[in-house]
């Protein structure tokens, strides 16, 4: 028995620098996305008109986050990266590790920029806006009927960022990407009837969905905010995943495009007999291990 991992090993030491140089511009664009997202969080959102009659739906209690902001990058970014590294130490494919990390970061950062841009542009008040605006419970309005808030400026600013949900969009961007990644690795859609694989695929999505539910339970978001955030995050994660990996249902969905390109380039330089053997090992790969007669 020969493991395919022993046929071709593209490690960080042997190929890491080359891959990093090839995708240098992609990493620079990631830095730009970080800067843009920071700016979007610094600037003030649109302060939408909020009249007295609207306050009926905005008087929910001001509660702390069930899922704190600092926890989002831990489960949506760091946890998937840990799983990618576990896969790397088993498979020894730096193409897979690099593209999984790069695709994940693009997924969450593009989602973050889109989410925060819409937040700032829409300025929808949160369900708990009344208590952000009037912490003492005494409401005031100008001649046009708009609110005159007397609460903390930063709390009021955050109160105008309800749509869409950032927690939810980030969760689906990171955990959605992880779900697609896992479905490709375990060949969840290989038509062999192993429905148990779907439990692994749906687990990250369930985690993301529960985060979205918590945002409604905490009265930080309306249900429409959560739905929109989930749609944005899941869509962007799928698009970013397809930039580096075949669709999860594809027969080669277990590896990145660049791995197969690198393999073909190397096998073309070898003798026909060796060439044919290695191609057979890869294209007939089943569960990372095959038999050679």
pLDDT band at 207; cut points 50, 70, 90: very high
Tokens of 1: 């028995």
Pairwise pLDDT comparison (186 vs 108), residue with the higher score: 108
What's the whole-number mean pLDDT along residues 51-62?
93
Pairwise pLDDT comparison (273 vs 22), residue with the higher score: 22
Pairwise pLDDT comparison (257 vs 71), residue with the higher score: 71
pLDDT band at 35; cut points 50, 70, 90: very high
Using a 10 angstrom Cβ sphere, with 0-12 exposed, 13-18 middle and 19 or more buried, the burial of residue 231 is middle
The SS3 call for residue 290 is strand
Are 78 and 211 spatial neighbours (Cβ–Cβ below 8 Å)? no
Query: DSSP assignment, residue 45?
Result: P
pLDDT band at 292; cut points 50, 70, 90: very low
Q: Say what the pLDDT of residue 11 is.
A: 63
Helix (H) or strand (E) holding 30: helix 24-42
Mean pLDDT of the chain, nearest integer: 85
Q: Say what the pLDDT of residue 134 is.
A: 95
Residue 217: how many CA atoms within 13 Å on its side-chain side? 9
Asked if pLDDT for residue 4 goes beyond 60, the answer is no
Lowest-confidence region among 117-121, 183-187, 215-219, 224-228: 183-187
Pairwise pLDDT comparison (271 vs 68), residue with the higher score: 68
What's the whole-number mean pLDDT along residues 132-145?
92
pLDDT band at 289; cut points 50, 70, 90: very low
The domain locations on the chain are 2-47+68-126+162-290
What's the whole-number mean pLDDT along residues 89-99?
83
pLDDT band at 247; cut points 50, 70, 90: confident
Pairwise pLDDT comparison (93 vs 270), residue with the higher score: 93
Asked if pLDDT for residue 242 goes beyond 50, the answer is yes
Between CA 179 and CA 207 the distance in angstroms is 11
Q: Say what the pLDDT of residue 293 is.
A: 34
Asked if pLDDT for residue 146 goes beyond 70, the answer is yes
CA distances for 2 relative to 69, 94, 101, 262, angstroms: 46, 20, 28, 20
Asked if pLDDT for residue 288 goes beyond 50, the answer is no
Are 67 and 167 spatial neighbours (Cβ–Cβ below 8 Å)? yes
Q: Say what the pLDDT of residue 3 is.
A: 40
Percent of residues, the chain, with pLDDT higher than 90: 63
Reported as a single tens digit per residue, the pLDDT across 80-90 is 999 999 988 88
Q: Tell me the catalytic residues.
A: 167, 221
Q: Which residue has the tokens 């060796």?
A: 274
Pairwise pLDDT comparison (172 vs 264), residue with the higher score: 172
Pairwise pLDDT comparison (130 vs 2), residue with the higher score: 130
Supply φ then ψ for residue 247, to 5 degrees: -55, 145
**Which residues are CB-neighbours of 66 under 8 A, at least 6 positions away?**
214, 217, 218
Q: Which residues pair with 256 in a beta bridge?
A: none
């Amino acid at each position: 028995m020969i493991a395919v991992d022993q046929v071709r090993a593209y490690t960080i030491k042997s190929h890491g620098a080359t891959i990093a140089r090839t995708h240098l511009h992609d990493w620079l664009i990631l830095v730009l996305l970080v800067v843009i997202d920071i700016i979007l969080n610094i600037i003030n959102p649109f302060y939408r008109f909020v009249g007295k009659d609207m306050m009926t739906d905005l008087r929910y209690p001001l509660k702390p986050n069930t899922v704190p902001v600092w926890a989002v990058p831990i489960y949506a970014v760091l946890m998937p990266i840990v799983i990618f590294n576990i896969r790397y130490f088993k498979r020894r494919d730096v193409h897979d590790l690099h593209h999984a990390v790069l695709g994940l970061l693009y997924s969450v950062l593009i989602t973050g920029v889109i989410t925060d841009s819409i937040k700032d542009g829409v300025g929808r008040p949160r369900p708990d806006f009344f208590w952000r605006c009037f912490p003492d419970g005494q409401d005031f309005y100008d001649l046009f009927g708009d609110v005159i808030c007397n609460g903390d400026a930063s709390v009021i600013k955050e109160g105008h960022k309800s749509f869409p949900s950032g927690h939810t969009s980030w969760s689906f961007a990171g955990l959605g990407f992880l779900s697609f990644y896992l479905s490709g690795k375990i060949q969840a859609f290989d038509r062999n009837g192993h429905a148990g694989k779907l439990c692994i695929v749906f687990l990250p999505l369930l985690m993301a969905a529960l985060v979205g539910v918590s945002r409604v339970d905490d009265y930080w978001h309306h249900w429409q905010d959560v739905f929109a955030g989930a749609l944005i995050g899941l869509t962007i994660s799928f698009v970013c995943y397809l930039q580096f990996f075949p669709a999860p249902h594809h027969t080669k969905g277990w590896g990145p495009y660049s791995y197969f390109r690198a393999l073909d380039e190397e096998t073309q330089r070898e003798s026909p007999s060796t060439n044919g053997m290695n191609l057979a090992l890869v294209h007939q790969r089943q569960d990372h291990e095959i038999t050679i007669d």
